[in-house]
Structure 1
Amino acid sequence: MKAFTASLTGTSLEWYDFAVYSAASALVFGKLFFPSGDPLTGTLLAFSTYAVGYVSRPVGGFVFGRLGDVIGRKRVLVATLVLVGVATFLIGCLPTHAVAGPVAPAMLVLLRFAQGVGVGGEWGGAVLLTSEFGNTRQRGFWASAAQVGPPVGNLMANGALAALGAMLTEEQFLSFGWRIAFLLSGVLVVFGLWVRTHLEETPVFKAVEAGGERPEAPVREVFAQQRRPLVAAILSRVAPDVLYAMFTVFVLTYVTEELGMPSGQALTAVLIGSGLQIFLIPLAGALSDRWNRRRLYLGAAVAAGVWPFVFFPLAETRSWLLIVLGVIGALVIHSMLYGPQAAFVAEQFSPRLRYTGSSLAYTLAGVIGGAVAPLVFTALLGKFGTWLPLAGYIVLTAVLTVTGVLLGRDADHAEDEEYTRLVGSNGDGGHGHGAGGAEPAASSSYASKSR
């Protein structure tokens, strides 16, 4: 439970940083950093910097993913938390375009890039932090701790912005209010560091280290030996990313600019849906342990492709209650995908390459999924003026995710247990002392199972 708490706390704080930027992209950055006579153009440019946070994630995946398999999970997770927290705090200190001209958006893009690098290295480690401490047969639940982080962070970020918007006039909010939400990151990061520095390294990594099984070139090994698991894991993440981008980020723009409703109503809808996800995501993870994880994922992916055809007609009524119900429905479906996702992705890779493989899958999927989604949604709406192309785009991503899940494999619990037994019985990873003996057997076992 200590590892669950540490994973949840750290990931929530990093996603607060990431989500507060996402919400600000939809609400204020277009006006302050990308001024234009056309509000939609300003929003499009703001979403371009939002995308930078996703495009930069593979850098974090390559750098920190590799380090996580070489020097350990804990050290990397401390580094990523510091990187994201400092970048977010500095965004709150930036001058706007009116003060610094083009330098302002350039600095914003640079700091957003740093955010993305940190988040790209965070996810794989946060997943392994809990799943490698917990029972492998309950991995869906334990690994969901990292998945609860985004809705908690989103809830905190949107809550902070909503509270500031309620307490301040629009002029005050645009002048200095939005900065407060970013500056709060400094306080939150100190707390997150205190939690993570008091945590031990995972038993699985200790066993890998003790048995001399740490990979020298994990990135190369993943691409050479585990290409199918990597493709399966990448595709499995596309629809959840796009669905989340639609119903927590772009929905703010759609409700305010297309439907002409107050931004506070859109924020409230997202807050309610995110609040429910805090409970639904671990529930979905636990259900995937009791049922077949792939089947649950497949059913949710199909539902993701259908739901836009329910939501947009509800939204066009301009009824706040129906919009809330539509957002909640989407985030329930997202929970059914997101809860089992961490376990599903991690299970595609062998333990000695799991941080690298999971991080690469997470970050590369973000580039083709969440990174471009708000841009695509904005461009499609601007060109066609109707929601149907937006729904079609989500259907396409659902098809990709279904393909990825079908390419993937079910959990092989005996694989983890065998590895820990063979390597750990000869190392000090909490299982014994000494060296030699079973190391070649463990290596051979995994070589034969690599894809």
Structure 2
Amino acid sequence: MTVDRTTESRAVAPARVRPLRVATASFIGTAIEWYDYFIYGLAAAIVFGPLFFPSVSPAAGTLASFATYSVGFLARPVGGIVMGHFGDRVGRKSMLVISLLTMGLATVGIGLLPTYATIGVWAPVLLVVLRFVQGIGVGGEWGGAVLMAVEHAPERRKAFYGSFPQMGVPGGLILANLVFLALTASLSDEAFLSWGWRVPFLASAVMVIAGLVIRLTVSESPDFERVKREKAELRMPFVTVLREHWREVGLSAGAFIGINALGYVFMAYLLAYSTSVLELSRDLILTFTLVASVVWLAVIPWAAALTDRHGRRPVLLTGSIGLVGCAALLFPVVDTAEPVLVLAALLVTALFMGVVYGPIAELFSGLFKAEVRYSGASLGYQLGSILGGGIAPTVATGLYTQWSSSTPITLYLVGVTLVSLVSVLLVTRRLR
């Protein structure tokens, strides 16, 4: 079942809709939450192995740290289901405040966590628990932020305004990389391993407070206000989604698997692979990732604006085909260990990631009616996240550990991006 939101939008008084302000607030809050999430991935690639899993080999330590990284993805559907339920019944705005608080408290907790040398096995156990709580927070974040932006937007600009919270992902990655670059440049390896790695986690407290102030100033979604006014809330929106919209959930999850898997290999695993296997400079790869993330961020609103003008199908299909090519070529190019080629590979990957990621928020929200939109969009997105980025760094690490070659990683990435290409073909056909 697909949804025409024109009638919903006409029911909203235009004077009450301030799409740019809401979209900007969504971008800022989302960037803060994803900063929290990404500093974990960077720390997993750099320090969590020796600090929390010191009794195993370096390769096994990296694998173990990325396994804890994946735990956060297992929690994301829990956050999506719980906050999606209350977001469809109580409101989008309140869930965004709760998700930001949840993420911030867990992130600061990681920054205060004793290591294995201090409390033994409880250190990795508590790390896993806090990572799970992070996953719950970010699991409820995406659906609310996207819907606030899309549901406040005028009908012909929904993809563009929906891209603002999407920009929060590379925005958070850029911020995380800048913080890590500043610390690694100013501290010795010993100081960074001893205490410096904690600074990005503890600094989250200040940013979360700023994000809460911003989020509390925006108005509730007009589409949700219409639902409340018409007393159309459902008792169990999640059950309705599973019963009536399971095809949309499956297709949206499939459409997201490829970009999410490639994206998390790009954002997290390549740092560990480039430094430990290819022996490239850590600061060099962090800088390259930072530059590529700027390209990713810039392409997102451009691709979304093209979607508003030309439609979802041509933009998403172009981006999805490009991602298959990137999946096939990324590691063969990176394996040359030539800095110029490595940077080129990351830039091209970032370009096509932006083409897909920009319009996908509006695509997901367009699949579900307002009464179940938070639950449906969140569930599809988070299932795609688990099957994509949730396991990608762990799978990539395991494949290289087993085969001592990046070729199996390439085959894996090509496979998941092909799944997404087929899903995009099917889902855009349903929405025409």
Task: Kindly provide the CA deviation profile for residues 274-326 of structure 1, in whole angstroms up to 9, marking residues without a partner as x.
Answer: 11222111111111111221232122222212123333232222222221111
Match of 2:47, SS?
A: helix
Aligned length: 413
1:87-115 Cα distance to aligned partner (Å, 9 max, x none): 00111000001111010111111110000
Measured against aligned partners, the alpha-carbon deviations of 1:227-269 in whole angstroms (never above 9, x if no partner) come to 1111111111100100101111111011101101111111111
Q: Distance in 1 between matches of 2:427 and 2:233?
A: 25
Say which of 213, 217, 221 aligns to 1:194: 213
Aligned partner of 1:228 among 232, 247, 250: 247
Q: CA offsets, 1:403-447, max 9 Å, x none?
A: 22223146979xxxxxxxxxxxxxxxxxxxxxxxxxxxxxxxxxx
The residue type equivalent to 1:216 in the other structure is R
CA distance in 2, matches of 1:352, 1:276: 36
Offset of residue 396 of structure 1 = 0.9
Whole-Å separation in 2 of the counterparts to 1:308 and 1:274: 17
Aligned equivalents of 1:393, 1:283: Cα separation in 2: 29
Shift of 1:173: 0.2
1:112-151 residue pairs with structure 2 within 5 A? 112-151=131-170
State the SS of the aligned residue for 1:307: helix
CA distance in 2, matches of 1:252, 1:36: 22
| 1:36 positional shift | 3.7
The answer on whether the counterparts of 2:364 and 2:377 sit within 8 Å (CA) in structure 1 is yes
Q: Which runs of 5+ in 1 are unaligned?
A: 414-451
Q: When the two structures are superposed, what TM-score results if normalisation uses the length of structure 2?
A: 0.93
1:249 is matched with 268
Q: Distance in 1 between matches of 2:215 and 2:26?
A: 8
Is 2:367–2:431's contact at 8 Å kept on the other side of the alignment?
no
Q: 1:394 and 1:412, CA in 2 relative to 1: closer, same or farther beyond 3 A?
A: closer
1:15–1:150 CA contact under 8 A, matched in 2: yes
Aligned 1:138-287 pairs, distance under 5 A: 138-287=157-306
Once residues 335 and 19 of structure 1 are traced to their aligned partners in structure 2, the CA distance between those partners, rounded to angstroms, is: 18
Q: How does 1:29-178 map to 2 (within 5 A)?
A: 29-178=48-197
Q: Which moved more, 1:234-243 or 1:308-317?
A: 308-317
The residue number in structure 1 matching 2:10 is none
Q: Distance in 1 between matches of 2:431 and 2:166?
A: 21
Bigger Rg over Cα = 1
- In the other structure, the counterpart of 2:335 is 316
The letter of the residue matching 1:389 is P
**Structure-2 change in CA distance of 1:98 and 1:322 (3 Å):** same
Paired AA for residue 326 in structure 1: A
Match of 1:290 among 297, 305, 309: 309
Counterpart of 2:353 in structure 1 is: 334
Equivalent position to 2:379, from 323, 348, 360:
360
Aligned to 1:299: 318
1:13-46 deviation per Cα after TM superposition (whole angstroms, max 9, x unaligned):
0000000001110011011111145211000000
Gaps of 5+ in 2: 1-19
The match for 1:381 is: 400
Residues 328, 413 of structure 2: 8 Å contact kept:
no
Alpha-carbon contact 1:293-1:410 (below 8 Å) kept: no
Q: Secondary structure at the match of 1:224?
A: helix
Deviating beyond 2 angstroms after TM superposition, the runs of 4 or more aligned structure 1 residues are: 308-314, 409-413
- TM-score between the two structures when normalised by the length of structure 1: 0.90
CA distance in 1, matches of 2:83, 2:352: 30
